[in-house]
């Protein structure tokens, strides 16, 4: 079995059998990660460059750990301390890295489509670790994998609401595409100003009342407000946003049923979600982080298998 694509640039490039193959491979790697010796020699002699033009903690550490668990050789590149700050272009930067005989590039970039652009100009395989407000495919895969695990193996028919800053979120778009492929029902919830105009064309429901959305769903994925991407004010204040769209224990306990709470991180505690919800038994936030390593191992392993 092999993936239908040479790169992982976005969920829109994957079909359902690709996603299911990644999940099955991740199941196997999760077993490996729970053994006393957590390393396998699958990617020995494969060199992977982590090229991050944007700040990242969880994603970069998760990819790096996945690469090391697969015995790959890893080089890390942070744009802030590199020649990019001297005016070097993206292609020059990556070609210089590839001249050192790198097989695969994991890249995060502030501009949408950077990975697609790069894949057309360099020979290495590209894994998109987030490009602007466009896509973040491995996050969507690990979120869907975590829902599948929580519900005993099936996502079809499950109701998932994504709450928050949908307009600026690459996680929201990738999650919608991934969950729809797997047969889930998806709703987005947030202030009108933070819901994109085109969202209906993706086949999702739109709700502006948090309580109604939570009563409808099986899973609530709470996104943070992306202040670093907002060039104008989309709502009066964070305090008002929290009053209308923040999830607290009181709201959670008052629902008709028990729902599962997710968050892609980093969490702004007390804004979109309170600490008692984030740390409750209904939350699978730390399971998402754990599953992130297994999913990224699966993606790297399957892509490396296509190298000629």
Task: Give the pLDDT band of residue 169 (cuts 50, 70, 90).
Answer: very high
- High-pLDDT (> 90) share of the chain, %: 80
Whether residue 159 is contained in a domain is answered as yes
Which pLDDT does position 294 carry in this prediction? 98
The answer, yes or no, to whether residue 233 has pLDDT greater than 80, is no
| 32-37 contacts, C-beta under 8 A, 24 or more apart | 32/69, 32/297, 33/69, 33/290, 33/293, 33/294, 33/297
- Does 39 count as an annotated binding residue? no
Q: Are residues 76 and 172 in the same domain?
A: no
pLDDT at 185 over 60: yes
Could you report the per-residue pLDDT of 7-54, keeping only the tens digit for each?
999 999 999 999 999 999 999 999 999 999 999 999 999 999 999 988
Please state, for a pLDDT cut of 70, what percent of the chain lies above it: 95
Over residues 78-131, the pLDDT tens digits come to 876 666 666 778 888 888 888 889 999 999 999 999 999 999 988 899 999 999
Alpha-carbon distances of 268 from 241, 264, 274, 275, 281, rounded to whole Å:
12, 11, 8, 9, 19
Name the pTM for this structure. 0.95
Can you give the CATH number for the domain in which 55 is found? 3.40.50.1370
Is there a domain that residue 212 lies in? Answer: yes
Range of the domain at 123: 11-134+289-304
Q: Would 5 be classed as within a structural domain?
A: no
Q: Give the tokens for residue 82.
A: 């590199």
Say if residue 182 is in the same domain as residue 268: yes
Residue bearing the bigger pLDDT, 110 or 235? 110
Instruction: Confirm or deny that 139 is annotated as ligand binding.
Output: yes
More confident residue, 149 or 1: 149
Q: Is 35 annotated as a binding residue?
A: no
Does the annotation list 44 as a binding residue? Answer: no
- Let me know whether 253 and 297 are in one domain: no
The pLDDT of 250-268, averaged and rounded, is 95
115 is in an annotated binding site: no
Mean pLDDT of 176-201: 95
pLDDT at residue number 237 = 87
What SS3 state is found at 109?
strand
Phi, psi of 147 (to 5 degrees): -65, -45
Q: Report the interhelical angle of 170-181 vs 137-150 (nearest 10°).
A: 50
Q: How confident is the model over 293-306, as a mean pLDDT?
A: 96
In a domain, 65, yes or no: yes
Neighbours of 212 (CB within 10 A): 13
pLDDT value at position 33? 95
Q: Please report, for residues 111, 284, 298, the alpha-carbon distance to residue 57 in angstroms, rounded to integers and kept in the order given.
A: 19, 19, 20
Same domain, 24 and 70: yes
Split into its structural domains, the chain has a count of 2
Distance CA 212, CA 203 (A): 19
> Which whole number is the average pLDDT over 128-143?
96
The pLDDT score that the predictor gives to residue 243 is 94
Residue 1, domain member (yes or no): no
Task: Please report whether residue 3 resides in a domain.
Answer: no
> Domain check: are 147 and 235 in the same one?
yes
Cα–Cα dist 242/244, whole Å: 5
Choice between 306 and 130, residue whose per-residue pLDDT is larger: 130
Instruction: Judge if 91 and 190 occupy the same domain.
Output: no
Dihedral of alpha carbons 296, 299, 301, 303, sign: negative
Residues 196 and 153 in one domain: yes
Task: Tell me, yes or no, whether 16 and 28 share the same domain.
Answer: yes
- Per-residue tokens: 23: 């999940």
* Per-residue pLDDT at 98: 85
Average confidence score pLDDT of the chain: 93
292 is known to lie in a ligand binding site: no
Let me know if residue 115 belongs to a domain.
yes
**Domain co-membership, 189 together with 56:** no
Q: What does the DSSP assignment read for 282-308?
A: TB-HHHHHHHHHHHHHHHHHHHHTT--
Whole-number pLDDT of residue 91 = 85
pLDDT tens track for 53-71: 888 889 999 999 999 999 9
Same domain, yes or no, for 267 and 151? yes
DSSP assignment string, 28-89: HHHHHHTSSS----TTTT-EEEEEESS--SHHHHHHHHHHHHTT-EEEEEEGGGSGGGGT--
> 265 among the known binding-site residues?
yes
Same domain, 271 and 293: no
pLDDT at 225: 87
- The tokens for 233 are 């004010």
Q: Contact 196/169 with Cβ under 8 angstroms? A: no
In a domain, 4, yes or no: no
59 is in an annotated binding site: yes
Residues facing 109 on adjacent strands: 131
- Same domain for 189 and 87? no
Residue with tokens 């491979």: 25
């Amino acid at each position: 079995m092999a993936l239908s694509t040479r790169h992982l640039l976005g969920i829109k490039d994957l079909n359902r059998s690709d996603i299911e193959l990644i999940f099955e491979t991740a199941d196997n790697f999760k077993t490996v990660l729970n053994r006393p010796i957590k390393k396998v020699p699958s990617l020995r002699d494969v060199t992977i460059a982590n090229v991050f033009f944007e700040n990242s903690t969880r994603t970069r550490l998760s990819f790096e750990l996945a690469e090391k668990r697969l015995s790959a050789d890893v080089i890390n590149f942070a744009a802030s301390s590199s020649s990019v700050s001297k005016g070097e272009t993206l292609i020059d930067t990556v070609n210089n890295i590839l001249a050192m005989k790198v097989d695969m590039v994991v890249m995060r970039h502030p501009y949408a489509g950077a990975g697609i652009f790069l894949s057309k100009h360099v020979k290495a395989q590209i894994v998109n670790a987030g490009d602007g407000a466009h896509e973040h495919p491995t996050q969507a895969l690990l979120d869907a994998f975590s829902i599948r695990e929580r519900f005993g193996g099936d996502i079809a028919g499950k109701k998932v609401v994504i709450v928050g800053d949908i307009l600026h979120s690459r996680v929201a778009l990738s999650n919608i595409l991934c969950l729809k492929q797997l047969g889930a029902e998806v709703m987005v919830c947030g202030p009108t100003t933070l819901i994109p105009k085109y969202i209906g064309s993706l086949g999702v429901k739109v709700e502006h009342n948090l309580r109604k959305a939570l009563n409808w769903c099986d899973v609530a994925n709470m996104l943070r407000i992306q202040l670093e991407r907002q060039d104008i004010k989309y709502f009066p204040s964070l305090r008002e946003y929290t009053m209308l769209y923040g999830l607290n224990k009181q709201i959670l306990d008052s629902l008709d049923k028990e729902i599962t709470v997710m968050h892609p991180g980093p969490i702004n505690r007390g804004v979109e979600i309170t600490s008692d919800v984030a740390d409750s038994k209904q939350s699978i936030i730390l399971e998402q982080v754990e599953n992130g390593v297994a999913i990224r191992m699966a993606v790297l392993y399957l892509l490396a298998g296509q190298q000629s």
